[in-house]
Structures are given as structure tokens and as C-alpha cells.
Amino acid sequence: MTTPAQSGHAPLDPVLDAIMSERRQLIGVAYRLLGSLADAEDVVQETYARWYAMSRPQQQAIASPGGWLTKVASRICLDLLRSARVRRESYVGEWIPEPLPGRAEWIDGRSGAATASADPADRVTLDESITMAFLVVLESMTPAERVAFVLHDVFRYPFAEVAEIVGRTPAACRQLASSARRRIRATAVPATPAAQQAGVVRDFKQAWEAKDLPALIGLLDPDAMATGDGGGRVAASLHPVAGGEQIARGLVDIVGRVPDLTFLERTVNGRPGLVAQQGGATIGVFAFEVAGDRVKRIWAVRNPDKLRPWTTC
């Protein structure tokens, strides 16, 4: 890539360069807080708008522009989370976080915030924090719990800074994060090696394509759960489907009813997943939670509004 100096133009303003370099971090924080890339991008745009609305002396008076940007973005997210609960009540069917393809730069958020002194065992890695299973649990938290947990346990902000964002004491934020941590642990399944997960999803894909009902049932945990999200835009089950055999029968029925349906192996939120295409167009993204050699959870996102990042995959 040609730099401004190489192209003959004046170099970028160092302050401007530093501010713009925070975008990846901001997207990473906002996506984990909101579960929507589209909303995260809107938050970051609003955050930058507030920065540039200040005078140059006001900007220069800020000791840590990156910290200021993260604080503002987090507060905007907190307000959105509080209003999202009302909006989600009118959502048609189940609401699933927006799935992310591959490892784009907006997934690779940096942990450049000040390091806290909490036990590292209470932390989750950035990779873990974008799995669909993780994001779904975040959805069950209160807005304050979610912000405190994500900022501290994922991005390693000290509770003193989290408190300024949430509007509570550091001790209260510590309790919020602890409560959120218990939710995560209560739903966690034993870790399965990535290669083994990929093998299970690949076998699942082949059995699904072949409409092999016994094979699908064998690959699904008897207590498996499948959740669809059509958002009222396209057909999808309005309620989660429970039971491996019932899920398998539904999947076989889909292949029988939808002509020219093909499945592609893709990384979905950092884990092996599948993309369904019809006539070359993406019509669904499937995220999986694999426990051992069986599929325990399936999240099927079919709402076209949530498939925008997949149209060029």
C-alpha cells in the first residue's frame, strides 16, 4: 500500500492518524457490546462525530484520545442496550447476534487499554469473546453487566474506568462483572479442539446434503437446540427447536423443499460453520456449538439484514 509520503502528499497529522487507528478497537468493543456489526459501525461513526465536534484545544486537552473514544463509544452502546430490550420485544421470532465471517480486522480488536490487576483466569480471550455461544449469553445480561464484563474481562479496562462509563462505583462494577462471569460459566461446555469441531461440522454438512437422517441424528446431541432468526423477513421457526431427532428431520425437510441449495464450509464467529446459498446468493449462516463429537447448539441466521457482511464472502 502506498503511504502519503510515498505518493508525494503531506504526511497525515499524527493526532489524526492516532485517532483513526483506534477504529478497529472501537468496532471490536461495540460489536461485542451490541451483537450487531451494523450497529457497531453506527456507534463508531457517532463517536468520531463527537470527537470532531470539539475544538482543537479541547481535543489537545484530552490526555488519552483512545481512552476517550472508547469511553464515549461504550456509553453510546450502553444507551443502545437499554433501548434494545424494548425493540427486541417487538422483534419477530428469536433474535440472534449478527454472524461475522472469517477473521476480518473488525474481529481482531486490540487489547490496548490499561491493564487491570484482576486474576487472568477470570479473563476471556478476544477469540472466545466473538463466538456465537458467548454472544448469546451476553444477550441474557443486563446492559450494565454486559458493559462491565466486556470492558473488564475482555478488553482489560480497570474497574475505575468502567465505573465512569457505567455510572456506578468500582465495587459495584466488580460485582456486575462477577455476576456476568457466573452466567458465562453456567452455560460453558467443555472445550473441543478446533480440528475436531471442523470435522464434526464437515460430517454434518455431508449428512445434510445427502439427506441422511440417521447420520444427522447421530451427529446431534439428543438434547440439542436449534434457533432460527428470520426477523419476520424470511421464513424461520419462531421458537427454538429442541431435540436432536426433531432438528434432524427439520433439516432434511429443508433440503427437500429448497431447490439448488448448497452449503459452504466457512468460519462463523471464529468457529467452523456453514453458509447456505441458493443460486449463488447467501440465504443463511449457521453457527454451531460442538461438544465432543456432537452438535449441541445450532444458530441459523436468515434475516437478510444480518447477512450483509456475507454477500462478498
Q: What is the pTM of this model?
A: 0.86
What are the per-10-residue average pLDDT scores of the chain (313 residues)? Answer: 42 68 92 95 96 93 93 97 82 94 47 38 69 96 97 96 96 97 92 94 97 98 97 91 98 91 95 95 97 97 94 68
Q: List Cβ neighbours of 5 (8 Å cut-off, separation of 6 or more).
A: 11
- State the DSSP string of 231-252: TTTS---SS-EESHHHHHHHHH
Burial label for 257, CB within 10 Å (0-12, 13-18, 19+), is exposed
Contact 194, 267 (CB under 8 A): no
pLDDT of the residue at 19: 82
pLDDT of the residue at 275: 97
Q: Which amino acid is located at 221 in the chain?
A: D
Contact 150, 81 (CB under 8 A): no
pLDDT of the residue at 118: 41
* Domains of the chain, first to last: 14-187 (no CATH), 194-310 (3.10.450.50)
pLDDT of the residue at 108: 36
pLDDT of the residue at 87: 77
CA distance 300 to 173: 34
CA distance 147 to 79: 11
Contact 310, 282 (CB under 8 A): yes
